[in-house]
């Protein structure tokens, strides 16, 4: 994965970069230019009434070359945030996103892959990064698979109030997680039948979520939480796995 450029939020990076020498040309590249989200590419979550992680289209905006997902208390007194899901599902590939998040308890910046089947957790979940830490200094890579929702994880230390590029390469026998072009976690298919396989095999799509929470993983909103807390996405790229890697 190429290292990130030092700035973010304005250049049409995703659309103008040359093809990746291994993965080729992205099947989806979005730099979030303009004034509105391209709904031909993205589905906007609309579930402000649910108790767990409510999200509203009102909390999703595009401006200054970035997607902004914001958490706040809405006019109905609900603590809500925003999220979007890609319309492209792939079985194996490479996904990248350049992101940052504001400080504030009660929210987690998340980039993940979700199963097209919606059969969760059986068909798995690949969490490229989650940052529930209110100070945004610690994040995590997570992996879910199976009807019993078996989970494994890896901690990542970085200042996520600044721009970072996160990514994952998903192949039949291996998942490789990246932060700023460096491998931070690798999960491989076991060679022994006595070990539990954690590599998903069903098609998935990227989602960008600023999760509102008040449970074990995400600390509750508190008196120090600002009125609004946002997650920003500068660009994303999605690559289909070439036959040479499968």
Q: pLDDT tens for residues 73-108?
A: 999 999 999 999 999 999 999 999 999 999 999 999
Which residues constitute the domain of residue 160? 34-245
pLDDT at residue 5 is higher than 70: no
* 18, part of any domain: no
* 67, part of any domain: yes
pLDDT tens for residues 195-224? 899 999 999 999 999 999 998 889 999 999
* 25, part of any domain: no
pLDDT at residue 4 is higher than 90: no
pLDDT at residue 188 is higher than 60: yes
Q: In total, how many domains does the chain have? A: 1
Q: Report, as an integer, the average pLDDT of 173-191.
A: 96
What angle (nearest 5°) sits at the alpha carbon of residue 24, between those of residues 180 and 65? 55
Q: Report, as an integer, the average pLDDT of 47-52.
A: 92
Q: Residue 188 belongs to a domain with what CATH number?
A: 2.60.120.200
* 15, part of any domain: no
pLDDT at residue 7 is higher than 50: no
What is the pTM assigned to this prediction? 0.92
């Amino acid at each position: 994965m190429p290292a990130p450029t030092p700035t973010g939020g304005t250049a049409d990076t995703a659309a103008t970069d040359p093809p990746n020498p291994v993965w080729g040309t992205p099947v989806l590249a979005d730099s979030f230019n303009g004034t509105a989200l391209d709904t031909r590419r993205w589905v906007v979550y609309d579930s402000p009434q649910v108790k767990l992680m409510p999200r509203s289209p009102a909390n999703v905006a595009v401006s200054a070359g970035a997607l902004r997902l914001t958490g706040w208390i809405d006019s109905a007194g609900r603590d809500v945030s925003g999220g979007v899901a890609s319309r492209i599902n792939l079985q194996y590939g490479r996904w990248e996103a350049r992101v940052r998040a504001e400080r504030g308890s009660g929210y987690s910046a998340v980039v993940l892959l979700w199963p097209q089947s919606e059969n969760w957790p059986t068909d798995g979940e690949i969490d490229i990064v989650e940052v529930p830490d209110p100070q945004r200094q610690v994040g995590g890579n997570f992996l879910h698979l199976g009807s019993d929702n078996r989970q494994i994880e890896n901690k990542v230390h970085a200042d996520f109030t600044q721009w970072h590029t996160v990514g994952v390469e998903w192949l039949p026998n291996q998942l490789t997680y990246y932060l700023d072009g460096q491998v931070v976690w690798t999960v491989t298919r076991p060679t022994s039948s006595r070990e539990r396989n954690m590599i998903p095999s069903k098609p998935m799509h990227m989602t960008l979520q600023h999760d509102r929470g008040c449970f074990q993983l995400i600390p509750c909103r508190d008196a120090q939480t600002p009125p609004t807390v946002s997650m920003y996405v500068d660009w994303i790229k999605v690559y289909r796995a070439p036959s040479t890697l499968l």
